A and B are shown apart, each in its own frame.
Chain A
Amino acid sequence: MQFGIFTVSDITQDPTTGHTPSEAERIRATLTIATHAEEVGLDVFALGEHHNPPFWSSSPTTTLAYIAGQTSTLQLSTATTLITTNDPVKLAEDYAMLQHVSGGRVDLMLGRGNTGPVYPWFGKDIRQGLPIGIESYELLHRLWREDVVDWEGRFRTPLQGFTATPRPLDGVPPFVWHGSIRTPEIAEQAASYGDGFFANHIFWPASHTQRMIALYRQRYEHHGHGTAAQAIVGLGGQVFMRRNSQDAVRDFRPYFDNAPVYGHGPSLEEFTQQTPLTVGSPQEVIDKTLGFRDYVGDYQRQLWLMDHAGLPLKTVLEQLDLLGEEVVPVLRKEFAKNRPADVPDAPTHASLVTAKYGDAAPRQATPNANRGDNLTVGSPYQDAGAATATTSGAAFGPAATRKAVVR
């Protein structure tokens, strides 16, 4: 099982000091947080995407590439990548590139975003958010799997004879998680492709997350990717720890009360009762997190939001120390108990390469000299024919009704 942290890249005033970090300060702090995550033994760092202040993360692959250069084992992910307003062609290129520079330590979590005006800023209609996301992912999925793509859809310029470069590292696309809080269609989408499903669990009641995951698991099995218990599930979480609970509650309350999302709403007590937020001792965090398995089953990835709401860097690093020293080692041991042998771990680049090639050497895409005949020879790469069109995997959207492509 993987454990890690995610950040939404908010720049928020520290309510206890009145200090608001500059963009530069907060960006440097986040880079420190990411490298510290690896130092304390966490597995994953996931970065959000926003295109408006007070957030800074408009260019996640730039940031993640730098972090990749500063770390050696940390899995880099997103939380989330906007599949609606980003061009799927650029996503295919950027994240394949990130795979190459990080040595395969990358996966993505796709989402539709929560900021309405981003749609019009990027020339999209928010009322079409779901169909755009479905169509864009279908294209992204093909661009990573087919060397040459002919494509026509409703929301993007058509492509004829297009090759997304570089080809994915070792011919294996990054693993994709689909993140959603409340949209059953996204659970269906994740299940139909056999992709992972991530429930960002933190602002909503457990009972709701339980139903979303149950739906995803059932549909994963229906689409033939494995049993329901083998579906790839990730959960969000949020914690704040001190050695004893009273100190944790006292220290976190001002941040909670003024936090951008839940501040000035329910009380800390109501919120910790109704959602997975845990404010207390490391042992309480362990107990609460272990409880997640009771309602979603054995799962693959646990991410926590640790640097939200204006918490200063020093505090965040202390929190990571507690996670790494006291919480995660126990969780690793406890989650491993009674975990059925056929429940897989979260896919990594290494596991995907093995699944695809076994002991054989993975594909190394080597282009031909450009003769402008991509469309007629089938592939611009020297191993033409090695990367033929895969079955698209989609049971809906354009792929469901498309006639076989003759190339």
Chain B
Amino acid sequence: MTRRIVVISSGLSTPSSTRQLADRLAADAAGILTERGVDVEVRTFELRDLAHDITNHLLMGFAPPKLEEALDAVSKADGLIAVTPIFTTSYAGLFKSFVDVIDPQALTDLPVLIGATGGTPRHSLAIDYAIRPLFTYLHAIPVTTGVYAATSDWGDGGDGVRSLPDRIFRGAKEFADLVERTDRSELVNDPFALDRPTGHLIGGLAGE
């Protein structure tokens, strides 16, 4: 059974260090799972490409086709790697807007690996005071290690004891452990699916 990992990167520039962190997290997670004999499929979505669709969804209540594909992929994933730049002490507005258009039930039991980028290491706790509560509220399962990459982490000015690659590997391993065990993407969660009893939707149904 293939495990489906979805990567959401909400960096605004191209190329983006947020995307770079997202790719590294995904590569380590996929590598660990592959080593264990688990098939992995990784799909990456740049929220920048979906920014107009996300706004239209907020205004209209439905997702244009490209965004719908991303939302479907997230809700059927076995694991989500979510990476955002930290702007003004918190996640990027685009990142939050994307989370706002996800069905509130769609992330239940979903393993999540959180990543964040910023100009200075002084905002690293934003992962724990801003992003983590977002996912716990949605009943997702963020792994304990969140990976914050400050600009200095990409050179020799970073943490000399726990280097960025160490932290990426640690987060990826915790994430891979959960993804390996979940069977989330196998579960049917489509309320419009035909050929199944739907009376349970309404409650108190007799004889079905």
Contact = CB atoms under 8 A, between A and B. Distances in A.
A265 B198 contact: no
Contact of A188 (B59, B201, B204): B201
A401 B194 contact: no
Contacts of B208: 395
B206 A396 contact: yes
Contacts of B60: 203, 261-262, 265-266
Interface stretch (B61-69, B83-91, B149-157): B61-69
A308 interface: no
Interface in B34-77: 55-56, 59-62, 64-65
Interface in A231-284: 261-262, 264-266, 270, 274
A212 B192 contact: yes
B93 interface: no
Given A262-B59, A274-B65, A134 B206 contact: no
B159 to A, nearest CB: 44
A185 B201 contact: yes
| B interface bracket (residues with beta carbon within 8 Å of A) | 20 to 34
Contacts of A395: 199, 205-208
Contact of B62 (A134, A203, A218): A203
Contacts of B204: 396-398, 400-401
B191 interface: yes
B192 A400 contact: no
B192 A134 contact: no
Contacts of A292: none
B202 interface: yes
Nearest to B190: A211
A131 interface: yes
A208 interface: yes
A317 to B, nearest CB: 29
B203 interface: yes
A205 interface: yes
Interface string A188-221: 1100000000000001110010011011001100
B206 A401 contact: yes
A88 to B, nearest CB: 17
A265 B59 contact: yes
A290 to B, nearest CB: 23
A188 B62 contact: no
A380 to B, nearest CB: 31
Contact of B56 (A261, A270, A400): A270
A30 to B, nearest CB: 26
Interface in B99-147: none
B120 to A, nearest CB: 37
Contacts of B65: 205, 274
5 contacts: A184-B191, A184-B201, A214-B194, A261-B60, A265-B56
